[in-house]
A = this chain, B = another copy of it.
């Protein structure tokens, strides 16, 4: 099976998601700072989502790099991840246009949670295809960062109904935690070469 085409298709979808999110920032009719002010929350939710899609692209890039076999299961696990990521423009727009109101903030968290789960499923299906002694199997091991993200999203979602800013802080915190690319994979890759 052809890994290149899986990467190319995923790159295409991620590139489109990251770019059409900006279309939610509707061009205002006024020409002064007042006209821009209502766009501020839309803009900041765009920045947050751009960060998240960037992180997913980055980690996807790393993970596929060490995958050896692409089975039918991997193809569908990948499409499942892309499905949840494709909802980013919608939830980003809804959250931004409503100034980070309770339900939109919670729904944003739900999509983050589902995308993280889908990423975990994809990792597992690659490990299953490659064998648990594979590079990825050893690199991921007990996926501490992944598990922590899921817990933090799960806390942030109900929190969004009581304190939106706190939920936002959770979302931003998880993003910052992931900004560093997955060093576990790089470390194992280096170990591989060193052996």
A positions within 8 Å CB-CB of B: 1-2, 5-9, 11-20, 22-25, 27-29, 31-33, 36, 47, 50, 54, 57-58, 61, 65, 72, 75-76, 79, 82-83, 86-87, 89-90, 93-94, 97-98, 101-104, 107, 179-181, 186
Contacts and interface: CB of A to CB of B under 8 A. Distances in A.
23 contacts: A2-B61, A5-B7, A5-B11, A6-B61, A7-B8, A9-B57, A12-B15, A13-B15, A13-B19, A18-B86, A22-B86, A24-B27, A25-B90, A27-B94, A33-B103, A36-B107, A47-B83, A50-B79, A50-B86, A57-B79, A58-B76, A61-B75, A72-B186
A9 B15 contact: yes
A31 to B, nearest CB: 4
B14 A16 contact: no
Contacts of A57: 9, 79
Contact of A1 (B2, B47, B65): B65
A22 B98 contact: no
B16 A19 contact: yes
A61 B5 contact: yes
A27 B90 contact: yes
Contact of A72 (B11, B12, B97, B180): B180
Contacts of A104: 31
A93 to B, nearest CB: 4
Nearest to A180: B72
Nearest to A93: B27
Contacts of A29: 97
Contacts of A32: 103
B14 A11 contact: no
6 smallest A-B Cβ distances: which pairs? A12-B15, A72-B181, A27-B93, A16-B19, A31-B101, A54-B79
